[in-house]
Amino acid sequence: MSEVARYTEDEIKSLDWKEHIRLRPGMYIGKLGDGTAADDGIYVLVKEIVDNSIDEHVMGNGKKIDITIDDKRVTIRDWGRGIPLGKVIDCVSKINTGGKYDSKAFQKSVGLNGVGTKAVNALSNYFVVQSFRDGRSKRAEFEKGELMVDAPETDTTEPNGTLMVFEPDASIFKNYRYISEFLREQIKNYTYLNSALTIRFNGESYASRRGLLDLLDHKVTEEAALYPVIHVKNEDIELAFTHTDSYGEEYYSFVNGQYTTQGGTHLAAFRETFVKTIREFYKKEFDATDIRASITAAISIRIMEPVFESQTKTKLGSADMGADGPSIKTAMLDFIKKNVDDYLHKNPTVAEALLKKILQNERERKDMAGVQKLAKERAKRANLHNKKLRDCKTHLTDPKSDVRFETTLFITEGDSASGSITKSRNPNLQAVFSLRGKPLNCYGLKKKIVYENEEFNLLQHALDIEEGLENLRFNKIVIATDADVDGMHIRLLLMTFFLQFFPDLVRNGHLYILGTPLFRVRNKKETIYCYSDEERKNAISKLGHKPEITRFKGLGEISPDEFAGFIGPDIRIEPVILSQESNIEKLLNYYMGKNTPERQEFIIDNLIVEKDDEPEILSTVLVAEETETVAE
State residue 471's pLDDT score.
84
| Structural domain harbouring 186 | 17-207
* Higher pLDDT pick, 30 / 101: 30
Which H or E run includes 363?
helix 348-385
Whether 179 shows a pLDDT value over 90: the answer reads yes
Strands 73-78 and 161-168: antiparallel
Contacts of residue 425, defined as CB under 8 A and 6 or more positions apart, other chains included, come to 392, 410, 431, 432, 564, 567
Residue 524 is assigned to a structural domain of this protein: no
Q: What is the pLDDT of residue 7?
A: 57
pLDDT above 70: percentage of residues in the chain = 86
pLDDT of residue 400: 41
d(CA 320, CA 324): 8
Banded model confidence at residue 618, pLDDT cuts 50, 70, 90: very low
Average pLDDT of the residues in 404-427: 85
pLDDT at 511: 94
Q: Are residues 397 and 494 in the same domain?
A: yes
In a domain, residue 530? The reply is: no
* pLDDT at position 395: 75
Average pLDDT, the chain: 84
Residue 343 and residue 430 share a domain:
no
Residue 97 pLDDT grade (very low, low, confident, very high; cuts 50, 70, 90)? low
Mean pLDDT on 312-316: 80
Buried b (16+ CB within 10 A) or exposed e, 282-319: beeebeeebbbbbbbbbbbbbbbbbebeebbbbbbebe
Are residues 29 and 152 both part of a single domain? Answer: yes
Would you give the distance in Å from CA 502 to the centre of its chain? Answer: 15
Q: What is the mean pLDDT of residues 603-614?
A: 56
pLDDT, greater one: 593 or 428: 428
With cut-offs at 50, 70 and 90, classify the pLDDT of residue 617: very low
Whether the predicted pLDDT of 62 surpasses 80: yes
Same-domain check for residues 422 and 465: yes
Same domain, 175 and 248: no
Residue-level pLDDT at 438: 86
* 484 in a structural domain: yes
171 and 44 inside one domain: yes
| CA 357, 261, 501, 366 torsion-angle sign | negative
Q: Which residue has the higher pLDDT, 160 or 613?
A: 160
Q: How confident is the model at residue 628 (pLDDT cuts 50, 70, 90)?
A: very low
Shared domain check, 193 and 244: no
Cα–Cα distance measured from residue 580 to residue 404, given in angstroms and rounded to the nearest whole number: 27
pLDDT at residue 616 greater than cutoff 50 = no
Beta-strand relationship, 136-143 and 154-155: antiparallel
- The residues, ordered by sequence, that sit 6+ positions from 399 with a Cβ below 8 Å of its Cβ are none
pLDDT for position 106: 52
Write down the pLDDT at residue 380. Answer: 66
Q: Could you tell me if 347 and 403 lie in one domain?
A: no
Share of the chain above pLDDT 90, in %: 46
How do residues 180-204 score in pLDDT, each as one tens digit? Answer: 999 999 999 999 999 889 999 999 9
Q: What is the domain-level CATH number for residue 173?
A: 3.30.565.10
pLDDT at 623 over 50: no
Residue 533 domain-assigned (yes or no): no
Answer whether residue 2 shows pLDDT above 60: no
Question: How much is the pLDDT for 405?
Answer: 61
Are 289 and 159 contained in the same domain?
no
Residue 449 is predicted with a pLDDT of: 87
Task: Find the angle CA(8)-CA(11)-CA(12) to the nearest 5 degrees.
Answer: 100
Mean pLDDT, to the nearest integer, of 463-484? Answer: 87
Q: Of 181, 207, 233, which residue is a domain's last?
A: 207
Q: Tell me the average pLDDT across 232-245.
A: 94
Q: How confident is the model at residue 432 (pLDDT cuts 50, 70, 90)?
A: very high
8 in any annotated domain: no
* Biggest CA pair distance of the chain: 81
Asked if 498 contacts 491 with a C-beta cutoff of 8 angstroms, the reply is: no
pLDDT at 619: 33
Are residue 172 and residue 101 in the same domain, yes or no? yes
Which pLDDT value is given to residue 5?
Answer: 60
> Distance between CA 475 and CA 461 in Å, rounded?
15
Identify the CATH number of the domain in which residue 400 sits.
3.40.50.670
Considering the domain boundaries, does residue 129 fall inside one?
yes
Give the domain-ending residue among 207, 230, 247. 207
The answer to whether residue 5 sits within a structural domain is no
Residues in the chain: 632
pLDDT surpassing 80 at residue 402:
no
One domain for residues 196 and 302:
no
Q: What is the average per-residue pLDDT within 212-229?
A: 90
Distance between CA 524 and CA 474 in Å, rounded?
40
Q: Per-residue b/e over 134-156, b at no fewer than 16 CB within 10 Å?
A: eeebbbbbbebbeeeeeeeeeeb
The strand order across the sheet containing 476-480 reads: 389-390, 430-435, 408-413, 476-480, 511-515, 572-575
pLDDT in tens, 550-605: 988 788 788 888 888 888 888 889 999 877 666 777 778 777 877 777 777 777 77
Query: Is residue 99 scored above 60 in pLDDT?
Result: no
pLDDT of residue 383: 59
Q: Once rounded to an integer, what is the mean pLDDT over residues 382-394?
A: 71
Domain C-terminal end among 207, 225, 245: 207
CATH code for the domain in which residue 323 is found? 3.30.230.10
pLDDT digits (tens, 9 = 90+) for 335-385: 999 999 999 999 999 999 999 999 999 998 888 877 777 777 766 665 544
- At 284-300, the pLDDT tens digits run 999 999 999 999 999 99
Q: Is 423 helix (H, G, I), strand (E, B) or coil?
A: helix
Q: How confident is residue 625, by pLDDT bands cut at 50, 70 and 90?
A: very low
432 and 509 share one domain: yes
Segment 384-413 mean pLDDT: 70
- More confident: 167 or 221: 167
pLDDT confidence tier of residue 147, bands split at 50, 70 and 90 = very high
What is the pLDDT at residue 626?
41
Express each pLDDT in 116-140 by its tens digit. 899 999 999 999 999 999 999 999 9
* pLDDT tens track for 161-177: 999 999 999 999 988 99
Q: In total, how many domains does the chain have? A: 3
Is the pLDDT assigned to residue 13 strictly greater than 90? no
**Does 10 map to a domain?**
no
